[in-house]
Amino acid sequence: MKDGIYSSLDIGTTSIKVIVSEVLNSKMNVIGVGSEKCNGINKGLIIDIDETALSIKKAIKQAEEKSGIQIDSLIVGVPATNVEINPFHVSVSVENASQEINDTLLKKIIELIKSKKVPNDKTLLSIMVEEFLVDGFDGIKDPRKMVGEQVELYGTLLAVSRTVLHNIKKSVNNAGYEISDLIFQPQAMAELVMSEDERRFGTIQIDLGGGQTSASAVHDEQVKYSTIVQEGGENITKDISVVLNTSLRNAEKLKREVGYAYREGNQEKDQVISVEVVGQEGNIEVKESYIAEIIEARLSQIFDKVKNELEEIGAFDLPGGIVMTGGTAAIPGVEELAEDIFEVNVKTYIPDFMGVRYPSFSNAIALVHSKAKMDELSRVMNHMILNKEYAQAASQSKDTQVPTAKSPKNSSNHEKKENESLFENIKSFFSNFFE
């Protein structure tokens, strides 16, 4: 890990989190934390840039006060909303075979990927390198300083909706801060919560957030597939509120203090508790098992949806099982319920850093961890992608908020067929992996 001070920004559906970390001698320590509720986000999409910018400001101020560090720029997470994950292969000729390959060739490769491999309604977010080939010699991780006539790159590109990326950047800039890097959250999370072997052989990760749940299939140390279910911890709170006719504040308190996700494992602790009811003078008494039943019903629905998505690509053939994290994963019994539904080994990741030993901070910590571990080639390529795209976004709109109500559509039937073909290839990959 590269020593330094890092600040990350996790724009979640229900709250915005900022982490300030110091990496010294390859050891990471969290020195500042900020967390602020945000009403400018719905289902993972920023719908109010000004409101989101204000919440970002407040969260950063908290982190600055606790760390004593002035924050100027941020490592910002990009969620899996409307993201495309496409394997690719490109080949470029070296203009002068007698000169060493340098960053100029990397720029040429990136521009080729943008023009040939990224759909028109998407923006290139990052490139995950598998290997370079120089004049047919394979297994090269970084071709710079080598000489050759032809350079090929096999990898995976991450392309995100222009609207999603614009609104993230606009919110951060309107808050008064720069973006030092944009990182795909599921990839950063995998690097934090999984061992190298789990990432290499294949593992599923599930991030149980407040407003949505994301699930990703990781293999060969890269995210190969990612999907989102638009339900999370907020839905559980609303269910408790509606069923018990109590306020959202009381429902959230019940969820946190006595909530349990798996009734079978909580039968010995079935105590009666008093619940304040809206429009009624006296409280009512309910058993904890009844609240557990409400929580289990919603979580089972979420897990069933995730299971259906992952079964489509054969992800459960991956040997690593499931790693869960996210704020809703803190509810007791979630792990047992997940094992019962998914029928694979499940474990929960909880950050082990002073002051942030809560799975709700996993994303923010993962962003710092990913940036600190990033190799020099990835840093250079990310910088090239970020600066180019940022300049384009700024020139296109300085004060305009791009609407987020409608999902972007493919620009042509040809692109739609290519995407369907890709999906079938991914399905085939996972289904045949162990044959």
Is 36 within a domain? Answer: no
Residue 273: give the domain boundaries. Answer: 233-299
| pLDDT value, residue 148 | 93
CB neighbour class for 267 (10 Å; exposed up to 12, middle 13-18, buried from 19) = exposed
- What is the bridge-based pairing of β-strands 272-275 and 284-287? antiparallel
Is residue 9's pLDDT more than 80? yes
Q: Write the pLDDT tens digit of every residue in 230-272.
A: 999 999 999 999 999 999 999 999 999 999 998 876 666 678 9
Q: How confident is the model at residue 58 (pLDDT cuts 50, 70, 90)?
A: very high
- Cα dihedral 248, 253, 254, 257 in deg (nearest 10): 170
Whole-number pLDDT of residue 266: 63
270/149: higher pLDDT? 149
Report the CATH number at residue 241: 3.30.420.40
Query: What is the average per-residue pLDDT within 302-309?
Result: 96
pLDDT level of residue 72 (50, 70, 90 thresholds): very high
Q: What is the pLDDT of residue 1?
A: 86
Residue 354: inside a domain, yes or no? no
Residue 331 has pLDDT above 80, yes or no: yes
Q: Supply the pLDDT for residue 426.
A: 47
Mean pLDDT, the chain, whole residue set: 87
Q: At residue 417, does pLDDT exceed 50?
A: no
pLDDT at 267: 61
Least confident of 42-56, 179-193, 229-243, 393-407: 393-407
> What number is the average pLDDT over the span 304-317?
95
Determine what percent of the chain is predicted with pLDDT higher than 70: 88
- Least confidently predicted of 42-46, 61-65, 256-260: 42-46
The pLDDT-based confidence of 320 (bands split at 50, 70, 90) is: very high
Domain annotation covers residue 251: yes
What average pLDDT does the segment 184-207 reach? 95
In a domain, 254, yes or no: yes
d(CA 237, CA 232) in angstroms, rounded, equals 9
Taking residues 343-347, report their average pLDDT. 96
322 pLDDT band, cuts 50/70/90, is: very high
Average pLDDT over residues 403-425: 40
Q: How large is the average pLDDT for residues 182-194?
A: 95
For residues 123-149, give the mean pLDDT: 94
Q: How confident is the model at residue 281 (pLDDT cuts 50, 70, 90)?
A: confident
More confident residue, 43 or 310: 310
Q: Which residues pair with 420 in a beta bridge?
A: none
Residue 373 lies in a domain: no
> Above 70 in pLDDT, residue 396?
no
Whether 434 has a pLDDT exceeding 80, the answer reads: no
Q: How much of the chain exceeds pLDDT 90, in percent?
A: 72
Say what the pLDDT of residue 268 is. 63
Per this entry, what is the length of the chain? 435
Asked whether residue 284 is domain-assigned, the answer is yes
Count of domains observed in the chain: 1
pLDDT for 405 beyond 60: no
Torsion-angle region of residue 166: left (phi > 0), alpha (psi -120 to 50) or beta? alpha
> Has residue 112 been placed in a domain?
no
pLDDT (mean) for 332-355: 92
More confident residue, 434 or 271: 271
**Alpha-helical segments (H) within 208-347:** 233-244, 248-258, 288-312, 334-342
What pLDDT band is residue 394 in, cutting at 50, 70 and 90? very low
Residue 274 belongs to a domain: yes
